[in-house]
Amino acid sequence: MLGHSMGEECRNRIEHFQRLLRAHGVDGALIIQKMDLYYLSGTDQNAVLWVPASGEPVLMVRKSLERARQDAAMDQIIPLSNPSLIAEAVQGQSAGGLRRLGLEMDILPVKIYQSYEKLFPGVGMVDISSLIRSVRMVKSPHEISCIRKAAQIADQMYKQVPEFLKESETETDLALRAEAFYRGHGHPGLNRMRSFNMETTYGQILAGASGSVPSAAPGPTAGYGTGPYFSQGAGHARINAHEPILVDYISNADGYISDQTRIFSKGALAEKFHRAHGVMLEVQQAVAREGKPGVVAKDLYDLAMEIVEGSGWARTFMGHPEPVPFIAHGVGLELDEWPIIGKDSEHVLEKGMIVALEPKIIFPGEGVVGIENTFLVTEEGLEKLNRFPDEIAILPP
* 25-54: pLDDT as tens digits: 999 999 999 999 999 999 999 999 999 999
Residues 372-391 have pLDDT tens digits of: 999 999 999 999 999 999 99
pLDDT in the model for residue 217: 87
Residues 325-358 have pLDDT tens digits of: 999 999 999 999 999 999 999 999 999 999 999 9
Residue 172 — very low, low, confident or very high, per pLDDT cuts 50/70/90?
very high
- Determine the Cα–Cα distance for residues 4 and 344; give it in Å rounded to an integer: 41
Whether domain 4-136 has CATH 3.40.350.10: the reply is yes
CATH number of 138-395: 3.90.230.10
DSSP element (H, E) containing 115: helix 110-119
pLDDT in the model for residue 97: 81
Q: Structural domain boundaries of the chain?
A: 4-136, 138-395
133: pLDDT strictly greater than 80: yes
- Spatial neighbors of 231 by CB under 8 A, at least 6 apart, are 215, 216, 217, 222, 224, 225
> CA angle, corner 374, sides to 344 and 293, nearest 5?
55
Residues 349-360 have pLDDT tens digits of: 999 999 999 999
